Homo-oligomer: A and B are copies of this chain.
């Protein structure tokens, strides 16, 4: 099936903010953006209001006023690219916040495998996945890169739900033929491959050109896959040119386990390299404890990194050196990594990316072989973490020509952000539903964005569009 067009064209008016480059946000004020029925941006016009758009843009586009839905940002509102969550586990959604003092390997056995195994029930999977997609859309996540479970039926269902709810998504049936408990394992590498092919075929049947929903080849992580399975998945990636996602170098005990399980590999990253799984469409989650040699290999292969600061802080995995990765030329995006991460929000991940980068610079600790000036350099700015949340994520998922910023020819994957102005008249009036960002009126635009980053939540995400389709709207 091919995707249907939207019924109407769109005109968006007001302030648009997006990343121009890593350390710079561009502010487009009093601007008009036109989006056609295929969801594509067809015009970006500065110093333009509705009447000017009707007079000068509509004729060029062949639009008439009754073809067009007009959305104007009000005072305290702006348009921002939709967030890209480059790493999360949909079946773990009910477990968010529940991790105790565990670290990766005991966390998997205690909380994660039992929950994932329960997605064998389609009715449970429907409930969990529906809430996960709803909730992430509400937080402005227009593209999500999902790990599902080993189950074909429920993984197919996740793809169906993303398509019907309108979230751009990569859907990975999880491949794992070792390490997991008896009740939650692929029977064999062969069976795992067949199941993965069945999932790919299903997604092909609902979205022929993978315009909105795409399969992604998903070996869970090296310790959970036999060398045979990894090799077969590498071959599948070569055959299909589909993207690949997995985990790497998240936790020191995990790394030791990989060394034990794959004694012939030079290092963790080498395991994927040897299997043909390390390429320019590969997303590696975490990449915290990579050696220089590994990071150089990742860079050479143009593989990508999903940085998951909430998760890494919560289950005490480590502090990924994002600056160091970026300086090696590696594309980095953000992942919520639910439920290693506790939050469905990419904004929270961006906030934590700031804080984790600060933790790398803390004066009371010594990072491995890192001088104080290198440590200072590690700090990520507001602009940088918002880049990671949008354009950086688009690079990571291979969609940078389509989403992550506002350019003619790109898709309209966007969110309308609204911040509360403190009213002069009603200073003692507490409005429940505007969220925690309060604007007093003396702030610069840079201040507004910083306030949003640090105190914003889903209450500030008023509307969300994917491919020009309105996929979420707050009632209040």
Q: Whose C-beta in chain B lies nearest to the C-beta of A430?
A: B134
Is A252 within 8 A of B363, CB to CB?
A: yes
Is B427 within 8 A of A126, CB to CB?
A: yes
Is A318 within 8 A of B363, CB to CB?
A: yes
Which residue in B126, B128, B135, B355 is a CB contact (below 8 Å) of A314? B355
Q: List the B side residues contacting A363 at CB < 8 Å.
A: 252, 289, 316, 318
A476 within 8 A of B: yes
Q: List the B side residues contacting A97 at CB < 8 Å.
A: 437, 447, 450-455
Is B314 within 8 A of A450, CB to CB?
A: no
Q: List the B side residues contacting A436 at CB < 8 Å.
A: 135, 343-345, 457-458
Q: List the B side residues contacting A98 at CB < 8 Å.
A: 443, 447, 450-451
Q: List the B side residues contacting A368 at CB < 8 Å.
A: 364-365
CB distance from A320 to the nearest CB of B (A): 9
Which residue in B316, B319, B472 is a CB contact (below 8 Å) of A379? B316
CB distance from A237 to the nearest CB of B (A): 30
Chain A residues within 8 Å of chain B by Cβ, number = 69
Number of copies: 2
Q: List the B side residues contacting A475 at CB < 8 Å.
A: 432
Give the CA-CA distance A288 to B288 in the complex, in Å.
Answer: 26
Chain A 416-461 interface residues, beta-carbon cutoff 8 Å to B:
422, 424, 427-428, 430, 432-433, 436-438, 440, 442-443, 447, 450-455, 457-459
A399 within 8 A of B: no
Give the CA-CA distance A98 to B379 in the complex, in Å.
Answer: 15
A198 within 8 A of B: no
Give the CA-CA distance A99 to B450 in the complex, in Å.
Answer: 8
Is B127 within 8 A of A440, CB to CB?
A: yes
In the complex, per-residue mask of A388-429: 1 if CB is within 8 Å of any chain B CB, else 0: 000000000000000000000000000000000010100110
Most chain B CB within a 10 A radius of its CB, from A98, A354, A424: A98
